[in-house]
A and B are shown apart, each in its own frame.
Chain A
Amino acid sequence: MPGGGDILLQVERLTMRFGGLVAVEDLSFSARQGDITALIGPNGAGKTTVFNCITGFYKPSEGRLALRHGNNAAWDWLEALTDSGERSVRRAGNGLFLLERMPDYLVAQQARIARTFQNIRLFPGMTVLENLLVAQHNPLMLASGYTLLGVLGFPSFTRAERAAIEKAREWLDKVNLLARADDAAGDLPYGAQRRLEIARAMCTEPVLLCLDEPAAGLNPRESAELNNLLLAIRDQNAISILLIEHDMSVVMEISDHVVVLDYGVKIADGAPEQIRDNPKVIAAYLGVADQDVAKVEAEVGL
């Protein structure tokens, strides 16, 4: 239902072609404010492509990707904004952004969508603390008067930097990395690097956090910790999360809403319980045709 409810992100008729290959075809879904929305599907279904379109790393071939700040009143501007050719409109604390028109860094800077990567992308030669300060680059840049006041050592910048360090410390505490703040990020074990990447994304103060397979490579205990962390981010910081995940324990336990892709096409959309029993989803995951699902399930004893 476009325009209704508490929708934060609305993807409409998204199509992404790479030459002759259609990676995502005519995909529409929406993510609600304060929800954890999971995007699942077999390998090569186009999940990461959708992510890259949302975060501006790819320019979609077709489609409209809209994100709102503030309250639902912003959705009323959608058609006018689309026709105007502008990237965004901001008025009275509300904002509406057309992500397909924005380059990647502006999606993060203005639309406030933060993301993590499937293969972790930290700054390995910088310390954990530095990683979190780089994430606060834009506010700090402003506070340093685009470097001018900072070089001269103005107290306003010193204050801003202290606040930034304090915020970094808070997040390090939340992801349980405070003791390793001065170690190189590349020195951390894998699970800790995943947590640090999430903390770094959160330091940009996003409204929507996009996580690309955050549980990949984690053991069951770490993945349970991750669930708690994500739930805490959703509940305490009132941040919506969009999640790509293969680990069904993560998806089923924490997500409020699941979208299933197969070969770039949406095959299901709904609450986790509905998805679990959807024959089309099971067929896609088992890699068989719809009508054979019952047979295969009987074979594997489901």
Chain B
Amino acid sequence: MTSGAPAKRVDTARALWDAGLTALLAFGLFLPLVGFETVTDVRNDLILVTRWPLLFAIVAIAGLGRLAYSLAIEPWLQQRAIRPSAEPAPWRRYIASWIIPFALGFVILYPAIVIATAGFGRAVKWIDNFGIQVLIYVMLGWGLNIVVGLAGLLDLGYVAFYAVGAYSYALLAKTFGFSFWILLPLAGILASFWGILLGFPVLRLRGDYLAIVTLAFGEIIRIVLINWVDLTNGYAGITGIPRPTFFGIPFNAEEGGFAAVFGLEFSPIYRTIFLYYLILALALLTAFVTVRLRRLPVGRAWEALREDEIACRSLGINTTNTKLTAFAMGAMFAGFAGSFFAARQGFISPDSFTFLESATILSIVVLGGMGSQIGVAIAAIVMIGGTEIMRELDFLKLLFGSTFDPTQYRMLLFGFAMVLIMIWRPRGLIATRDPSVVLKERKAIGKDLVKEGRG
């Protein structure tokens, strides 16, 4: 702990002392954890091996990191704290005004960019694993943002509606053979129906209690899916779900398939590109509707509900109905995403709808900044895209040995991102609020004033 008075100059001796202490602490901590390893050799004996290079690498990182922090980062932070907060730099405003058109252009051109850079063969992986996967979570994040970010209702069971959408599509498509384009809206309607059904008893609760009950509801749905074997085939899941067609033209190698009709050589990439644009359109629809609703009385009532529920009631707003609409709207978008998910995978099982999914979506919303569309999109790219990127970081194997699997460190990445955000941006990446209506001049509202809602 440094003294309360702001240090004017950097105290090098103290910084070195701190760094040495940190390195020592890291050594003590990591010696048993990392320094020694027990392995079974060829004769099946347990032997103790030491990993000194790795241990000292970690100790050096800790020590040097601490040194860099006290020599460079801390003085800089203090400087920043002293300086009165001025108007944001002009380049920031410039970026802010260009980021949306730029991002839109990028996501629309993304498949072309990937094909141009990675080639036709490798592009499928990048569009599917990276593009589609991230966009599903962007859409789910935006959907949950309505419930958590705008209406301030903490929902820990959001994945339940995703599951309802996915199973609605899978079961109705397999049993009745309805097409994707009929079932997409139907899945959304069914999911929002479930949202309302859940909402009636649950929305009397507030804050932590609401969170617990929504969590329980999410688990109930999953357990019903596991145990209602007649309908859902239990753990085994549903296979052979019909894939979406290009407005009636299937993506296959046959005579009437997409490639043949358009005179192209057959390749799975067409379906992938089609799915990419489909989820992009769905995600943009979510964003458009949310932005639109925020400027309508219902959206303003959601935000007012987050700010002060009692004041809302004193103004004649039926808070139960308002909460239900938020719940239903969020659930509807999860239903759309769910039916897309089922159609894209061709296979679903209860394993895809665990609490971890709810937690991931919620952490995307919280990291992005509750209520902020761009923040949520960035958070989804970082969290989901980051996980996917980790699969590609083969050079880490050189550093940590050939058995090192970067994807296993996914949860560590989540936790690390959470901690960093909590330290630097406790209200999420983009925490300021944009007013929904303006009389003369648009001013962003500071994060300290905007409430988080208590359910």
Partner of B443, one of A104, A125, A182: A182
Q: B304-316, CB under 8 A of A: which get 1 and which 0?
A: 1011101111111
Q: A99-131, CB under 8 A of B: which get 1 and which 0?
A: 000001110110000110100011111110110
A243, chain B: closest CB distance, angstroms: 16
10 closest cross-chain pairs (CB), A and B: A125-B450, A108-B316, A109-B316, A123-B307, A186-B449, A121-B311, A140-B297, A181-B439, A150-B296, A134-B304
Cβ-closest chain A residue relative to B298: A147
Q: How large is the interface on A (under 10, 10 to 19, 20 to 34, 35 or more residues)?
A: 35 or more
B445, A108: Cβ atoms closer than 8 Å = no
Give complex CA distance A140, B317 in Å: 11
Partner of A127, one of B310, B313, B445: B445
Give complex CA distance A204, B314 in Å: 10
Chain B residues packing against A (C-beta within 8 Å): 289, 292-293, 296-298, 300-301, 303-304, 306-308, 310-319, 325, 433, 435-443, 445-446, 449-451
A115, B301: Cβ atoms closer than 8 Å = no
Q: A164-199, CB under 8 A of B: which get 1 and which 0?
A: 010001000000000001111011000000000000
B315, A200: Cβ atoms closer than 8 Å = yes
Chain A residues packing against B (C-beta within 8 Å): 55, 57, 104-106, 108-109, 114-115, 117, 121-127, 129-130, 133-138, 140-141, 144, 146-147, 150-151, 157, 161, 165, 169, 181-184, 186-187, 200-201, 204
Give complex CA distance A75, B377 in Å: 59
**Interchain residue pairs with CB less than 8 A apart (29):** A104-B314, A105-B312, A121-B308, A123-B303, A124-B451, A125-B449, A126-B307, A126-B433, A126-B445, A127-B438, A127-B443, A129-B437, A133-B437, A134-B317, A135-B315, A138-B316, A141-B297, A141-B298, A150-B296, A151-B289, A169-B439, A181-B440, A182-B435, A182-B441, A182-B442, A184-B446, A184-B449, A186-B449, A200-B315
A182, B436: Cβ atoms closer than 8 Å = no
Given contacts A108-B315, A204-B316, contact A123 B308 (CB under 8 A): yes
A165, B308: Cβ atoms closer than 8 Å = no
Give complex CA distance A109, B321 in Å: 14
Cβ-closest chain B residue relative to A153: B292
A182, B317: Cβ atoms closer than 8 Å = no
Contacts of B316 in A (CB 8 A): 105-106, 108-109, 137-138, 204
Contacts of A186 in B (CB 8 A): 449
